[in-house]
Structure 1
Amino acid sequence: MRTPAWAALGAVVLVASVVLAVTIGPAALGPGDVWRSVTTHLGVGDLLGVTPPDRLPDAMVWQLRLPRVLTAAAVGAGLAVCGVVMQSLTRNPLADPYLLGLSSGASLGAACVLVLGATVLLPVAAFVGATAALVATLALAAASGRGGLAPARTVLAGLAVGQLAAAATSFVIFWSAKGDQYREILSWLMGSVAGATWTSVAIAGGAVLVLGTALACTGSLLDAFTFGDTAASALGVPVQRVRWTLLVGVALLTGALVSQSGSVGFVGLILPHAVRLLVGARHRALLPLSALAGASFLVWADTLARTVFEPRELPVGIVTAAIGAPVFAALLWKGRARA
């Protein structure tokens, strides 16, 4: 299939996934309930001749399920795009959006405000923690050698900063957490969109719309990085400036997403590999299709997280890990067989 056909199929699957995910839950809803609620709140229900929804189904759709599903879609799309960019810039197939220590930095910021009881500041603290981890990683990578940011040094610097932030998070939890704070911190560290609101949709969706779109338009630049810095420079790409810009863009987008969902693993790792099997390694196709696949994947992962063990709910990070680890192992085995 050609790229436009895959893109059309991915868009249809994503829209269908959002609608169906909203209808799934303890209270039975239908696609018609979703349609009536959405058109009414958008102010076009009268123009389309749609009957206004009942109060209870409308509240379940508009206030509870739809913000959560849309937040999951935005987070999945953004993490998948960031994963593609990181794997290209570092020329490391095991790279993901958290490679620069962003997840550990965000976790440290979140743990600090949770033990202080300032839950309202959780998104801000997580974003600040992720940004601080980025600054520390890039500063360490730049100071540890000459010639700008080398992929290997950047990865090692990210690992060092991530381990330091993880140790600090563990210390904060061990020293200060009490009672239910352990459960709150653990739930956030495992990733969850259970508390998503329309503010979450605005932050995650806005970040994907602005930063994610900008990153998705860098396909030709990332193609130039495929064969190394020397080849990219020979093609006229200002290697160091582009690498710095893209790393900062990935970090800002990841920080915004993690601030709303916590650390959701494997999305930015396995989705780019899976999409490559369908469309190849051309980034102009890989980036948008990975975004569509990541959005649909996380929507269904979150749906499983909130319904499989009703009335109890799992953090979505557990589901993505349970699905992602076997899938990634299968991808590795398939690559080994091809080699």
Structure 2
Amino acid sequence: MAGFQQLKVTREVDFSGATILGAGGVAGSLSAGKTFYVDASSGADGYGTQSQNPNYPMETITGAMDICTANKGDTIVVLANSPSSPATNETFPIAMDVGGVLLTGMYSRGLLSDSGFGTDELDGNTITVSANYVTISNLYLGVKTGGTTGNVIEGGASAFSFTLRNCYIEAQYTALYGFFTGGSYDFPYLLIEDNTWGDNNTSKFTSAIRLFNATRGMVRRNVFGACSSYTINLLASCGTVNVLDNRFHLSADTDGFAVYATSGSTGNYIDGNHAAHGLSTMANDPFWEGGSDGDNNWGINYANATAVAGIRS
């Protein structure tokens, strides 16, 4: 048609150096780091740094991690995979071993992100964290159907300031833990917030969160489905961790099944948490001090509709 030109759109779009709109429509710069895209169904690790263009994504998160630069604020964006299907060539455990990297889903719909992955590895971790200042957010993590060892996420070495935010973690074999830090590692300043763990009908984990040597951390606003043992287990050398405003659906009316502070844990603060099992008043205390009076700090927590003041030992 006269007076008009046709715009031809190809896959060759360079997103590097793009800006984003901030509050009020004001343009704001992206972080100094680079963004790499991953898609298990259409990606190829051979794209390398071309994966900064979402039309040329990497196939595996491991491949994307390999081209990240430490402490530059790089981001790995997992595109809309089938949440239950990991990439055929993915390496497990996925090693988050590059400092300062954000691993995130593209976006979420309600509680379940459109971006996610699982593993059918029967024995072994899904993700290990060994670098400082890494974040996992907005992902569905699940699908272990058997096995006796391994965790969804494990702190595999000493690492500062790990963040786990807004993820849906489910369908794990009950012998496994959701998040676990090893006894020989220092894992301070962690933040675990706004995640959903398991479901309310059947036990999906032994413990959702099991912490050794985690200090000066925060666990807040999570929703926990039924676990077959202590949902949050604060173990020896776990200190000054704040456990605040979480919600627990318990598998049994048993002491400590919401939060259990093991002897040797000190200075932790547990307050504002709600645990429920059935309708009637619980006979046991789901918030349990395994050490001595004064080892940890217990505020007001709730067992069904009953406020529980003070510790139980």
Where on the TM-score scale, by shorter chain, does this alignment land: which range?
A: under 0.3
Structure with higher helix content: 1
Q: Name the structure, 1 or 2, with higher relative contact order (CA <8 Å, separation 6+).
A: 1
Which structure dedicates a bigger proportion of its chain to strand?
Answer: 2
TM-score, with structure 1 as normaliser: 0.18
Q: TM-score, normalised by structure 2?
A: 0.19
Larger Rg, first or second structure (1 or 2):
2
